[in-house]
Copies of this chain bind each other. A is one copy, B any other.
Amino acid sequence: MFQDRAIEKYTMVPGHHQGTCASPKDQSIKLRADETIYSEGEYALAIYQVEAGAVRIYRLTSNGQRHILSFCGKGEWFGLESGNVRTDFAEAICETRLRSFRTNQEAVVPIDLLHIALTNLAKAQCKQLIISEQSALKRLAAFVQEMADRHPEDAEFDMMMSRSDIADYLGLTVETVARSFTKLREKRILRLAGKSQRMVRLLDRDALIALTI
């Protein structure tokens, strides 16, 4: 049952990018917010690199809880798995552009799969340290710092993910995430803006780092 959907989904992809790309040599896939890239149980036929936007990788537990394993921003790779069947879900968080590479056929441009795997391993280990922090404020501080590191030049940046995404990433509830954000605001560490309070302006980076220690 899963496999049929997987193949169907994959074969949809060419049509997908034909609609959005002018040049035939441009292999990028464009996705709207919350669009699915792949789902658990599908055949793993390709790996992806984020050209623009952001992606969430998550799993669903048997009791229906969602655990976000990682967020992938510009330049990051995802979709490389040990088996040939997907163990998780991948969705675009916002409007997103991807490049896909089939893993079964020999790549024209050789891809360093080992490097990608080790980078993702390092990311996963780093995240383990974050969610092992017992304090919610510490976890959120670490998360904000991680997000801020992706925009080193900008004074203000868009997190793009919802409070619910952040909660499922940090192993907290939406309410504690919101409360921790107001604590960061009260401490004058950051300022929130935008329609859904997802625009972050860092006021005191040192204080933020001090929190994560």
Contact = CB atoms under 8 A, between A and B. Distances in A.
B125 A69 contact: yes
B118 A124 contact: no
A213 interface: yes
Interface residues of A, number: 30
A80 interface: yes
Interface stretch (A22-30, A55-63, A94-102, A185-193): A55-63
Nearest to A112: B114
A178 interface: no
Given A61-B129, A131-B132, A122 B87 contact: yes
Contact of A124 (B114, B121, B213): B121
Interface of A: 59, 61-63, 67, 69, 80-82, 87-88, 113-115, 117-122, 124-125, 127-129, 131-132, 134, 171, 213
Given A82-B119, A87-B122, A131-B171, 19 more contacts: A59-B129, A61-B129, A61-B213, A63-B213, A67-B128, A67-B129, A69-B128, A80-B118, A81-B118, A82-B118, A82-B121, A114-B114, A114-B117, A117-B121, A127-B128, A128-B128, A131-B131, A131-B132, A134-B171
